[in-house]
Amino acid sequence: MAPNPYFFIVIFVGVALVFPLLPLALAWLWRKAFQPPKPGAEKNAIYECGVESIGDAQIQFRSQYYLYAIIFLIFDVEAIFLVPFAVAFTGLPVGAFIAILVFLLLLIEGLVWAWSKGCLNWAK
């Protein structure tokens, strides 16, 4: 009589349980018989790179960081556009020159607006 086809699954589950649990049980028995546990403040410390941890990991970042990041990003992109503009400056037609000046003006206007709004003052 052929065994139930699902019987092998049962064997697999049994092996999957015994394989990790047996070494753990042996280690537990070994500790009971021979090796006394030696816990300590530093051994049980959460951080493990040799440096003492300071403060709490659960901190919140201020939203002002994001404002600074966005302003930085805008002028970062501006610098990328300015380099090809400066390289091709002598060969540019008047229309392209005015276009890039408008682009610069928009960004400078944005900076003036952010400045006057007080975004660059680090509020405590």
Partner 1 sequence: MSEIDEGLRSELQRQGVWVTSMQELYNWGRKNSIWPLQFGLACCAIEMIATAASRYDIARFGGEVFRPSPRQADLMIVAGTVTKKMAPQIVRLYNQMPDPKYVISMGACAISGGPFKTGYNVLKGIDRYIPVDVYIPGCPPRPEALLHAFMELQRKIDNQKLTGSNKAEHLDSEQLSEFPVPAFGAHDLEPPANPDVFHPMKIERQQ
- Per rule CB under 8 A, count of chain residues that contact partner 1: 14
State yes or no: residue 50 binds partner 1 (CB under 8 A): yes
State yes or no: residue 40 binds partner 1 (CB under 8 A): yes
The angle at the Cα of 78, spanning 74 to 82, to the nearest 5 degrees, equals 175
Interacting residue with partner 1 among 6, 19, 34, 122 (CB under 8 A): 34
* Minimal distance, residue 22 CB to partner 1, in Å: 16
Buried b or exposed e, range 81-108, using 16+ CB within 10 angstroms? eeeebeeeeeeeeeeeeeebeeeeeeee
Residues at the interface with partner 1 (CB under 8 A): 34-36, 38, 40-43, 45, 48-52
